[in-house]
Each structure stands twice: as structure tokens, then as C-alpha cells.
Structure 1
Amino acid sequence: MRNVVPYVVMVTGLTAVFVWAKWKQAEGREVRAVSVVSPAPAADGIMLIDVRTPEEFHARHRDGAVNIPVDEVETLAPQLVPDKNTLLLLYCRTGKRADRAMEILKKMGYSRVENLHRLDM
């Protein structure tokens, strides 16, 4: 049993290093793709917007959500949401990026913007 422990520790450490290296590699890659599940606001004037990265969006997202990464909000929001009275429900992993996107959208003149993380509290 004593002979197995160093190998388990080594394999675990190497796995952690490999996962970290892959994450850092993906972090530095510039991704400009945007995923749109629903290209226009619903008939009731509400749009659900995921402000996470496209990779996070593809891994998992809420049904009916549109992906507009927070760094692309100023560029893509006018194209995807031309009506500034549309109710925009924003979300991300923790709520911080949604807060940043909400500030940007309000400065752009969008009047009905909410962070779903704040509504869940």
C-alpha cells in the first residue's frame, strides 16, 4: 500500500497541472463568436441574455437564452435588441458580469434591464 500512495499523488498532481494548463490556454484565446439561440425578443418583449463567454454558454445555458458576452455588449446589443424598451434579463455565473453588462446597457439607453442574480435573492 505504501508503494501506491506516491503514484496516486503524482497522477493527481499531473492531472491538476494538465487541467490548469488547458484552462490557461483557453483563457488566452480570443473568441469572437456569438451564439444566438433566439435571435429576437419573445413576443412578450422579454429577452434572456447570457453574458458569459461562448465556451461557457455552449457548455450549459438556460433555455431560450441569447449569448452576448459582456465584452461584446456595446457592439452586439444594438443589432440583437434594437428596441430599447425590451425587458432584458441578464445572467452569468456569479452576477458580476451581469452587473457590468447592466451598467453598459443602461448607459446605452436601455430602460428595462435586470440582473437575474439580484432577482433570485
Structure 2
Amino acid sequence: MEIKPEEAKARLDKGEKIILLDVRTEEEYNEKRLPNSILIPVEGIDKDAPAKLTDKNAAVFVYCTTGGKSAIAAEVLTLMGYTKVYDLGGIEDWPYETVNGK
């Protein structure tokens, strides 16, 4: 299921418990990411998600650079039994605050 940046920001601002999941490389994550996001590169999503995303009913907003990897990761997570996965698309389309650094 897709979610637009405006809707995602509104839900985050309301204080909803949402996991922001960056599925890019560690280098891209350190360069620019959404505040409070976690990193699981798309290549390892199937093996790393169970340890980092323990609640399969938690809301997970998945993003990457332009939307390609996030769509793949969202589909994999859904197939793994995660119930509230939203494809946020690319950080390039996120007009709000971002952070950088390790």
C-alpha cells in the first residue's frame, strides 16, 4: 500500500507509533535520511527484518531514494506477514526535514 509524504508526515506529527524503514545502502543512509529511521538494506530485508522488526502488526513506512527499492521491500515484508506496510517511495520526494551522519 502506498502512502504520500503529506499523509505520512501528518501521521508522524500526531505521534503515531510508526517505524520509518530506510532500505538503501549504509552510505546513502548516512548521507541523508528521515529522522528516527532505521536501516535495513533491501538486499537483506528477508533475513534482517525479523530481528529488527519484531512486531509484525506495527506500522512500517518504507522508503529509498526514488521508490524502486521501497516497493520491492514493502512487497517482501508483506509476504513475510507484516500487516501494516506502507511504501513511502523515495526520499527525493520528501519535502520535510532530513538528517545526516552516522
**TM above 0.5:** yes
- The aligned counterpart of 2:44 is 72
Runs of 4+ displaced beyond 3 Å: none
Aligned pairs for 1:1-121 (under 5 A) are 44-117=16-89
- The structure whose RCO (Cα within 8 Å, separation 6+) is larger is 2
Report if the CA contact (8 A) 2:19-2:61 is conserved: yes
Count how many residue pairs are aligned between Structure 1 and Structure 2. 77
Over aligned residues, Cα RMSD in angstroms? Answer: 1.7
SS in structure 2 at match of 1:83: coil
Identity %: 38
Counterpart of 1:56, as a letter, is E
**What runs of 5+ residues in structure 1 fail to find an aligned partner?**
1-42
Counterpart of 1:83, as a letter, is D
Report if the CA contact (8 A) 2:71-2:89 is conserved: no
Tell me which structure has the larger Cα radius of gyration: 1
Structure 1 length as normaliser, TM-score? 0.59
Q: Which has the higher strand share?
A: 2
